């Protein structure tokens, strides 16, 4: 599994680093159809999906098994809403929203999800 991140100010990248030792930038992905991708992205401009994430999903949505999204609760109703949009538009499950680069609790939730996914894969 590869964790692909889209990060403007570095928070999503920091989170990606905390959950995996294999991370890559969505802008620099060298396609490999065998990769299973966990996407870590961010919310921009009143709840929009950032352009680099859109471009990545247009090509590789089929390989994305889940998405996590960074945001800031100060944005109220649009907190992390890019993740909800990705779930609706692309049918990719949103597993977690976190603020900035995430606290330990956020990291633990996502690590557990990854472990669970990897342990159950053979039985699906």
Ligand X SMILES: Cc1cc2nc3c(=O)[nH]c(=O)nc-3n(C[C@H](O)[C@H](O)[C@H](O)COP(=O)(O)O)c2cc1C
Interaction site with ligand X (CB under 6 A): 7-12, 42-47, 70-72, 75, 78-80, 100
We find the least distance from the C-beta atom of residue 53 to ligand X, in angstroms, to be 11
CA dist 28 and 52 (Å) reads 10
Nearer to ligand X (CB atom), residue 40 or residue 115:
40
Q: Give the nearest residue (CB) to ligand X.
A: 71
Answer for the pair 53, 6: CB distance below 8 angstroms, yes or no: yes
Residue carrying structure tokens 């995996």: 20
Question: Cα dihedral sign for 57, 95, 15, 99?
Answer: positive
| The residue count for the chain | 124
We find the least distance from the C-beta atom of residue 65 to ligand X, in angstroms, to be 20
Nearer to ligand X (CB atom), residue 20 or residue 70:
70
Answer for the pair 78, 46: CB distance below 8 angstroms, yes or no: yes
We find the least distance from the C-beta atom of residue 21 to ligand X, in angstroms, to be 19
Nearer to ligand X (CB atom), residue 8 or residue 89:
8
Count Cα atoms within 13 angstroms, Cβ side, for 9. Answer: 10
We find the least distance from the C-beta atom of residue 1 to ligand X, in angstroms, to be 20
Nearer to ligand X (CB atom), residue 17 or residue 72:
72
CA dist 73 and 1 (Å) reads 29
């Amino acid at each position: 599994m590869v964790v692909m991140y889209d990060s403007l100010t570095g928070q999503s990248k920091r989170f990606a680093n905390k959950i995996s030792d294999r991370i890559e930038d969505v802008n620099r992905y060298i396609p490999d159809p065998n990769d299973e991708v966990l996407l870590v992205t961010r919310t921009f401009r009143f709840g929009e999906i950032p352009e680099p994430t859109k471009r990545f999903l247009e090509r590789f949505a089929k390989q994305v098994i889940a998405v996590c999204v960074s945001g800031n609760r100060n944005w109220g109703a649009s907190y992390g809403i890019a993740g909800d949009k990705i779930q609706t538009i692309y049918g990719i499950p949103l597993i977690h929203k976190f603020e900035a680069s995430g606290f330990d609790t956020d990291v633990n939730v996502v690590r557990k999800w990854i472990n669970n996914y990897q342990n159950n894969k053979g039985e699906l």
